[in-house]
Amino acid sequence: MNDKVDLLDQMLHITTDLFFEAESSLLLDDLPEAPATILDIGCGNGAYLANLKERYPSAACTGVELDRPMYMKAALRNDRGMNLIHGSYERLDEQNAWDLIMARLVILHMEDVGGFVKWVCNRLHPLSRVIIIDFDDARLQGNDRLPLFLSLYRQARQSLRGRRTFLELPDVLKLEFQYGGLAVVGTKRYAVRADSPSKKAALYSYMKLSTKYLLGEPLSAERADELDEWLHDPDADMEIPMFGMNFARSPVEGSGAKEAISS
């Protein structure tokens, strides 16, 4: 058994459950037509791709996942006829032009973001769309009920971003995709809040799992108390800010599409 893989697997199920509906209406509803071919790069445990397949049942859905144990999680649960591939995305060397390429919570794990964007831009046709989704670090608020968790989370995000530019990720992506001939069709900024008991319970589980995942050890009593007190305090809130960007070949900009910001 691989503890880290099991922890990440559970975390990805939670984020898929928390965000898919919002992302579906904010980002997928904007597509010009239902995609017939979808590529999910860094598909993790396949939970998000399974939701995409449910939304577009006749689409050919392909997921590529670098980490073998995580790929196995996806492959073992693949009851929806998704095409799952183990390896880095560059492995898909055939020059397919996908209707939709999705990269969710994966960009900061890429060694070479410029190379990734170039690869993606070379696998599109004129009506393809690319959707990039990630945590919106710039909008993460302080929370005096969660000092230990938030400082750990911030450190983890900082170490992923660390060696990169001072620009925020959405700005980096805009520039990189522009260089590849794509324009931003829409940037959606949204958040999930602990505003119902079920969302609060899901966020609590997410914070517990990610603490164990990031520290590589069981939860200390102090960290467990912080999260338990937060859970049981009806006034204690928490918000996870996200962004989703929708890219298309540049001529779409000239045809009237504008960058839309919604929160």
Return the number of the residue (91 or 232) whose C-beta is nearest ligand SAM.
91
**Could you say which residues in the range 56-75 bind ligand SAM, by CB under 6 A?**
64-67, 70
Return the number of the residue (16 or 62) whose C-beta is nearest ligand SAM.
16
245 near ligand SAM, rule: CB under 6 A: no
What b-and-e string marks burial along 75-92, b requiring 16 or more CB atoms within 10 Å of the CB? beebeeebebbbeebeeb
89 near ligand SAM, rule: CB under 6 A: yes
**Cα torsion at 146, 149, 155, 161 (round to 10°)?**
-90
104 near ligand SAM, rule: CB under 6 A: yes
Q: What is the closest distance, in whole angstroms, from the C-beta atom of residue 224 to ligand SAM in the complex?
A: 24
Return the number of the residue (67 or 168) whose C-beta is nearest ligand SAM.
67
Q: What is the closest distance, in whole angstroms, from the C-beta atom of residue 244 to ligand SAM in the complex?
A: 11
134 near ligand SAM, rule: CB under 6 A: no
Report whether 47 contacts 13 (CB < 8 A).
yes
How is residue 105 written in tokens?
Answer: 């919570």
Please identify, among the stretches 23-31, 40-48, 121-129, 195-203, the one whose residues bind ligand SAM according to the rule CB under 6 A: 40-48
Give the distance from CA 132 to its chain's centroid. 7
Please identify, among the stretches 52-60, 103-111, 158-166, 214-222, the one whose residues bind ligand SAM according to the rule CB under 6 A: 103-111
Encoded amino acid at 174, one letter:
K
SS3 142: coil
In terms of DSSP bridges, do strands 239-249 and 124-135 run parallel, antiparallel, or are they unpaired? antiparallel
The DSSP-derived string for 156-196 is HHHHHHTTS-SS-HHHHHHHHHHHTTEEEEEEEEEEEE--S
Return the number of the residue (145 or 157) whose C-beta is nearest ligand SAM.
157
| Interface positions with ligand SAM (CB under 6 A) | 12, 15-16, 41-44, 48, 64-67, 70, 88-89, 104-106, 109-110
